[in-house]
Amino acid sequence: SIMSARLVSGVFRKVRPQICSTGHLQMSQAAGSKDVYLFNTPQYQKFKETQKKFQVDDGLPVHLKGGARDKFLNAIAYGSAGVGVLYGFVFFIQMLTK
């Protein structure tokens, strides 16, 4: 049988696809399956704390809210773009002088 998991109100339930009388596919809970609760796990609590940190309106763009690592990666991105622009200017100047 084909089994899958479906998130319902923060609970993963094992479900089995079935065809109902109208011909539509329905997912019904498998007999004897256990529910997996997500709200009490440490990973979920950590996720919610991180989510709160990113929701704060502190004027920072979302790609910099991760802290020092995000600022470092942003500096590398801007630096790489700047070097590329400089090399482009050098290339065109060399082409003009030849």
Confidence of residue 98 (pLDDT cuts 50, 70, 90): confident
Domains located in the chain, CATH noted: 1-41 (no CATH), 53-98 (4.10.91)
Q: Tell me, what's the pLDDT at 6?
A: 52
Q: What mean pLDDT do residues 79-97 have? A: 97
Q: Tell me, what's the pLDDT at 45?
A: 87
Eight-state DSSP code of residue 41: S
The sign of the dihedral angle between the CA atoms of 9, 12, 14, 19 is positive
Element (H, E) at 19: strand 11-19
pLDDT in tens, 25-71: 554 545 455 555 566 778 888 988 999 999 999 999 998 998 999 99
Model pTM score: 0.52
